[in-house]
Amino acid sequence: MRSDSNDDETVGETVRTTLAGKLQGLLAKRDHMRFLDALEGQRNRDTVRRDAFLRALAGEGLCLIMTTKEPRERSLLERYAALFLDGVVQVPAEILERLANTLDLSPLRKAADDLHAQEATQPKLKGVSPNTISSSVSPTESVVHVRRVVQIMQMILGDAISSNTMGVLRSVFRSQQERTFLRALSLRFPGLLALPNYPLDQIVDLDKILDEKIDGDTRRYGRHCRLDAVLVIPDEGDPVAAFELDSGLHDLPDARRRDRMKDTLIGAVGLPFFRLRAEHPESMSVDEWYALLSDEVMPHLDPGPRIRCRQVAYRLIPV
Summarised one tens digit per residue, pLDDT across range 165-224 is 556 677 888 888 899 999 999 988 888 899 999 999 888 888 887 776 788 888 888 888
- What pLDDT shows up at residue 252? 80
Average the pLDDT over each of 59-68, 121-130, 254-263, 275-284 and give the range with the smallest value.
121-130
The answer to whether the CB of 201 falls within 8 A of the CB of 222 is yes
- What pLDDT shows up at residue 1? 47
Q: Which helix (H) or strand (E) holds 209?
A: none
Q: Is 109 exposed, middle or buried (0-12, 13-18, 19+ CB in 10 A)?
A: middle
Report the amino acid identity of residue 20: A
Flag whether the pTM goes above 0.75: no
- What pLDDT shows up at residue 28? 77
Reported as a pLDDT band with limits 50, 70 and 90, residue 73 is confident
Of the candidates 198, 260, 201, 203, the residue with the CA atom closest to the CA atom of residue 229: 198
> Whole-angstrom Cα distance, residue 303 to residue 236?
14
Number of Cβ within a 10 Å radius of residue 141: 9
Measured CA distances, 101 to 83, 89, 107, 133 (Å): 17, 17, 11, 45
Reported as a pLDDT band with limits 50, 70 and 90, residue 66 is confident
- Percent of the chain predicted with pLDDT > 70: 74
Ramachandran angles phi, psi of 246, nearest 5°: -85, 160
Ramachandran angles phi, psi of 164, nearest 5°: -70, -45
- What pLDDT shows up at residue 90? 87
